[in-house]
Amino acid sequence: MSSERHASGLVVLVALATVCGLLAPGVVAAEQSEATITVGDASAAPGETVTVAVAVEGENIAGYQANLTWDPTVLQFESVEGADFSAPVQNANEGWVFMTQSQSSGTQSPTVARVTFTVVGDGGDETDLAFVEADTSTNDESSQLVTAVEGGTVTVAGGSAQADADGGDDDAAGDDGGTAAGTSSGGDDAASDGSTSTAESRDGGDSGLSPTLVAGGIGGAVVVLGAGYVLGQRSGGG
């Protein structure tokens, strides 16, 4: 009896090994069917629009669904359009967009969509573009694939519109102040020049011969000469 039990146990072990050997290729095949859904990085200034690509790395990709999220204080959603796939069915709200699309035949590593945002953050701000893994997957023509996710980043370049405006005001104030000061200085110089010119005119008047004095001197000389002539005539006559 003992020998028969050992033989039966051996048969069971061999059978299990055979079954495991048959299942192993299927497990390996499933691991080789993995795909990765990705979204690109980007940078733009405040007020500009930016577009990022959503792509799937993998073989025979026939469909996808993805829930993409971001910081709504940095980016404002605008639209989603198709690329290698048709435009997706979408549902968007503040800070996220869910999109999905499929086709009858698979393709290798397609760019499935492009998402456009308006930058509403300030210069130096940054937001992650991240997938909600539970809502994100890909499939080939017959089954769902084991799917990894890889997010991206959008960085706000430059200064904010408000900072630029403030800087512009400061510059304008500085320029205006400088110009005003220069104008004021110029006015003061002009006034000084005017004062100097007036002083010089006065000095010139004081140092030169006054027309009144000259006229008075000539008149006095005429009177003196006239008086002398009359007295001479009288003396000669006497």
For 41-71, write each residue's pLDDT tens digit: 999 999 999 999 999 999 999 999 999 999 9
Residue 80 confidence (pLDDT) = 98
Q: How far apart are CA 163 and CA 171, in angstroms?
A: 12
Q: Do residues 150 and 39 make contact, with C-beta atoms less than 8 angstroms apart?
A: yes
Phi-psi region of 2 (alpha: psi -120 to 50; beta: other; left: phi over 0): alpha
Nearest Cα to 102, choosing from 68, 65, 147, 146? 65
Q: Phi/psi of residue 145, each to 5°?
A: -105, 150
What pTM was computed for the model? 0.56
Q: How confident is the model at residue 158, as a pLDDT? A: 87
Per-run averaged pLDDT (10 residues), the chain, 238 residues: 48 40 39 82 97 97 98 98 98 97 97 98 97 97 95 88 48 44 43 41 44 48 45 45
